[in-house]
Amino acid sequence: MTRFGGRRAGPGYVWHPVRRALARGLGRLVCVLLALAAIALLAPVTVVAAGAAAFGWWRGWPPRRLFAAAAWCLPMVVAWLTAVAVWPVVPGGTGGRPPGGAGLWLRVLAAPGRAWLAMLHLAAHGQLAAAAVAAAPPAVPLGILAGGLAWAYRIMRMETGAGGLTPAAPAAFDARQWGHQVRTATAMLAVPGALPLISRGGDVVTGATIRSVAHRAGRAAAIPYPRLRSHQVVIGSTGTGKTTLLLRLWAGFMAAGLRRYAAGGADRPLLVVLDCKGGASSRKVADRARRVLRDAGARSTAIWPDEASLSLWELPPDRLVTTLLDLIEHGTGGAAYYSDVMEALVSLAVGAPCGPPVNSADFLGRLDADWLSAAYAAAGDAGAVATVRSGKRAFDDVSLRFRALWRRLGAGLDGGGSFADADAWYCILEGTAESAVAEAQARALTDLLASYATGGGREILLAVDEFSCVSRRLPIWRLYERARSLGLAVQVSAQSWEGLAGSDDERYRVAATADGGIWLLRTPRPEPIVELAGTRSFVDTSRRYSGAGSWEDTGSSRARLVPVLDGDIVRRLDVGQAAYIYRGGVTYVQVKRLTGRQAALAPAIVRDAAPAVMRDAASAADTLPLPLPRVWPGDGADPPSPRPWPLPGAPGPVHVPDASEVLDEAFGARRE
Amino acid sequence: MTIDRERSALAVRNADALVFTADMYGIQFDQLAALAGGERAARAAVARWRTLGYADSARLSPGPAWVWVTKAGLATCGLSYPPAQPALSRLAHIRAVTAVRMALQSTAAYQLARPFWRCERRIRSRHGVGVRQHLPDAEVHWPDEAPVAWAGECWAVEAELSPKTVARTTAIMREILVRTGDYGCLAADAAVPGKPARHARALYVCSSAAVGTVLRARAELGPLAARIEVRDLPRDALL
- What ipTM goes with this model? 0.88
In this structure, CATH architecture of domain B3-86: Orthogonal Bundle (1.10)
In chain A, residues with a C-beta closer than 8 Å to the C-beta of B219 are none
pLDDT value at A599 more than 60 = no
pLDDT of residue A522: 94
Mean pLDDT of chain A: 81
A218 neighbors A68 (Cβ within 8 angstroms): no
Higher pLDDT, B183 or B206: B206
SS3 of A569-628: the string is HHHHCCCCEEEEEECCEEEEEEECCCCCCCCCCCCHHHHHHCCHHHHHHHHHHHHCCCCC
Query: What mean pLDDT comes out for the span A103-121?
Result: 86
Confidence of residue A413 (pLDDT cuts 50, 70, 90): confident
Q: How far is it, in rounded angstroms, from Cα A77 to Cα B136?
A: 58
User: From the list B164, B216, B229, which residue is nearest A670 (CB)?
Assistant: B229
When pLDDT is averaged across residues A196-224 and rounded to a whole number, the result is 90
A212 phi and psi angles, rounded to 5 deg:
-130, 145
Task: Give the three-class secondary structure for A556.
Answer: strand
Taking residues A509-530, report their average pLDDT: 91
Looking at residue A89, its pLDDT comes to: 65
Please report, for chain B, how many H helices and E strands are present, in that order. Answer: 10, 8
pLDDT of residue B10: 43
Residue contact B197–A649, C-beta within 8 A: yes
pLDDT band at A622 (very low <50, low <70, confident <90, very high): very low
What is the pTM for the complete model shown? Answer: 0.63
Q: What does the alpha-carbon distance between residue A285 and residue A303 come to, in Å, rounded to a whole number?
A: 11
pLDDT at A556: 87
For B148, half-sphere exposure in the C-beta direction (CA atoms, 13 angstrom radius) is: 26
Inter-chain CB proximity A626 and B233 less than 8 Å: no
Question: Which residues of B are less than 8 Å from A658 in CB distance?
Answer: 149
Closest chain B C-alpha to A272 CA, distance in angstroms:
15
For residues B74-87, average pLDDT? 91
Local confidence band at A615 (pLDDT 50, 70, 90 cut-offs): very low
User: Given this model, what pLDDT does residue A434 score?
Assistant: 78
* B178 CA to centre of own chain: 21
Amino acid at residue number A349 = A
Band of the pLDDT at A633, cuts 50, 70, 90? Answer: very low
pLDDT level of residue A433 (50, 70, 90 thresholds): confident
Choose between A342 and A456: higher pLDDT. Answer: A342
Q: Is the pLDDT of residue A94 over 60?
A: no
pLDDT at A646: 36
Chain B CB contacts of A255 under 8 Å are: none
pLDDT at A601: 32
Phi, then psi, of A12 in degrees rounded to 5: 90, -10
Q: What is d(CA B116, CA B206) in angstroms, rounded to the nearest whole number?
A: 22
B63 interfaces chain A, CB cutoff of 8 Å: no
Asked if the model's pLDDT at residue A399 lies above 60, the reply is: yes
User: pLDDT band at A580, cuts 50/70/90?
Assistant: very high
Say if residue A613's pLDDT is above 50. Answer: no
Nearest CA in chain A to B163: A300
Would you place residue B91 in the very low, low, confident or very high pLDDT band (cuts 50, 70, 90)? Answer: very high
% residues pLDDT > 70 (chain B): 91
% of chain A residues with pLDDT over 70: 85
Strands (E), B73-225: 116-119, 138-141, 154-160, 201-206
Strands A301-304, A458-465: pairing kind: unpaired
Query: Cβ of A650 and B180 within 8 Å?
Result: no
**Residue of B237 and A472 predicted with greater confidence:** B237
Give per-residue pLDDT as tens, A187-200.
Answer: 999 888 888 999 88
Confidence of residue B3 (pLDDT cuts 50, 70, 90): very low
Q: What letter does residue B205 receive in the DSSP assignment?
A: E
CA distance, residue A653 to nearest chain B CA (Å): 6
Which residue in A474, A478, A400, A461 sits closest to A431, CA to CA? A474
Interface residue A663 vs chain B (CB under 8 A): yes
Mutate to test the interface with A, among B157, B161, B164, B227 (most CBs of A within 10 A): B164
The band of A576, judged by pLDDT with boundaries at 50, 70 and 90, is very high
Q: Where are the domains of chain B?
A: 3-86, 97-237
d(CA A122, CA A403): 96
Residue of chain B whose alpha carbon sits nearest to that of A301: B162
d(CA B23, CA B35): 14
Q: List residues bridging with A463 in a β-sheet.
A: A273, A491
Range from A214-223, A612-621, B14-23 carrying the lowest mean pLDDT: A612-621
Q: Is the pLDDT of residue B8 over 50?
A: no
Q: Nearest CA of chain B to the CA of A198: how many Å?
A: 14
The mean pLDDT of A590-607, rounded to a whole number, is: 54
> CA neighbours within 13 Å on the CB side: how many for A62?
14
Quick check: A618 pLDDT over 80?
A: no
Mean predicted confidence (pLDDT) in A31-48: 88
Share of chain A above pLDDT 90, in %: 29
Residue A97 pLDDT grade (very low, low, confident, very high; cuts 50, 70, 90) = low
pLDDT at A153: 94
* pLDDT value of position A101: 67
Q: What is the pLDDT of residues A280-335, one digit of tens each?
A: 888 888 888 988 898 888 878 888 888 888 888 888 888 888 888 888 876 666 66
Q: What is the pLDDT of residues B122-174, one digit of tens each?
A: 988 876 554 567 899 999 999 988 888 888 999 999 999 998 888 889 989 99
Q: Is the per-residue pLDDT at A4 higher than 50?
A: no
